[in-house]
Amino acid sequence: MKNKVNNNSKGFSLIELLVAMTIVLILLGIVSTLLGQSLSIRARESRKTDALTSAMAALNVMSREISNGGFGVYEGSAINPVSSNGLIVSDSNNSQVRFRANLTNAGPGSASTMGCPPACTNEPGEDVMYFFDDATKSIVRYDPHAIETSPGVYGPQTSVVVNRISSIEFKYFDYQDDGTVTAEPGSDAPTSRTGRIRLKVEVQMDPIYGQANPDTVAFTSEINVRNSNYMLRQY
């Protein structure tokens, strides 16, 4: 007796295979798109964390150093000295600030003029300028006496404090003897009566598909120039 062959068994048709492959490709495309966006967001958040951490650290360093402005220097005569905030008015504006401090407390002189003897602020950290470099999107620190080239002789150094910065803004608040202070939003330039500086740093994140752009984060620090004449009288 011969075995009967079952001719009723069927496989997938070519059309069914094409439909199935199309569906699989669509699903793979959706998954790959979502995965790509997730990886992009993760990379951006990682860069964001690094940038914000660096910006905060730089802000703290700048605030601490600027607050020392005027230490050990004074206006007027040696007989009748008046405390100074150490700000160099001619070199300070809304995008940069220069200040002086006699950290070693050696040598007389005035902080508002260039006639201060070399013994006054000729050592590292005693004559500092912070400014924003738009070309590199960086906050830069310049110290003309940062490097000791020979015993007692110092040379300049320019260093980047933090990069990937969108903007930096200084606002200056003056205090009168009666406690009256400059109204908001402050001034774009300091005076000999400036007792507080508002430092604002903005960090703009890289654009990312599917999110609101640009994403900008701002940090603000209120800096009391504690050696100014007005601030010293408050302690």
Instruction: Specify the pLDDT at position 110.
Output: 54
Answer yes or no: is 221 within a domain: yes
Residue with the larger pLDDT of the pair 148 and 88 = 88
Amino acid residing at 81: P
Q: Which residues pair with 138 in a beta bridge?
A: 133
Tokens linked to 102: 């006699």
**pLDDT tier at 215, thresholds 50, 70, 90:** confident
Integer Cα distance of 75 and 113 in angstroms: 9
Q: What spatial distance separates the first Cα and last Cα of the chain, rounded to whole Å? A: 117
Q: Angle at the Cα of 221 (from 170 to 92), degrees rounded to 5?
A: 20
Answer yes or no: is 218 within a domain: yes
Answer yes or no: is 33 within a domain: no
Instruction: Specify the pLDDT at position 140.
Output: 95
Instruction: Specify the pLDDT at position 109.
Output: 55
Instruction: Specify the pLDDT at position 75.
Output: 73
CA distances from 137 to 79, 144, 198, 212 (A): 46, 22, 20, 22
Instruction: Specify the pLDDT at position 4.
Output: 56
Mean confidence (pLDDT) of the chain: 82
As a whole-number percent, the residues of the chain with pLDDT over 90 amount to 35
Phi and psi based region of residue 76 (left: phi greater than 0; alpha: psi -120 to 50; beta: remaining): left
Name the most confidently modeled range: 90-94, 123-127, 217-221, 228-232.
Answer: 90-94
Instruction: Specify the pLDDT at position 117.
Output: 58
Instruction: Specify the pLDDT at position 223.
Output: 94
pLDDT(57) > 80:
yes
Name the most confidently modeled range: 4-8, 107-111, 174-178.
Answer: 174-178
pLDDT(16) > 80:
no
Residue with the larger pLDDT of the pair 28 and 16 = 28
Q: What is the DSSP string of 92-130?
A: -SSSEEEEE--TT--S---SSSTTS-HHHH-STTSEEEE
Pairing of strands 167-174, 153-162: unpaired
Answer yes or no: is 68 within a domain: yes
Q: What is the pLDDT of residues 75-129, one digit of tens each?
A: 766 667 778 899 999 999 999 999 999 888 766 555 555 455 555 788 899 999 9
Answer yes or no: is 194 within a domain: yes
Residue 114 structural domain: 57-232
Question: Whose CA is closest to 193, among 229, 235, 232?
Answer: 229
Answer yes or no: is 216 within a domain: yes
CA distances from 36 to 33, 44, 103 (A): 5, 12, 53
Question: What integer is the mean pLDDT of 135-163?
Answer: 90
pLDDT(9) > 70:
no
Answer yes or no: is 12 within a domain: no
Phi and psi based region of residue 163 (left: phi greater than 0; alpha: psi -120 to 50; beta: remaining): beta
Answer yes or no: is 138 within a domain: yes
Instruction: Specify the pLDDT at position 87.
Output: 93
- Number of domains composing the chain: 1
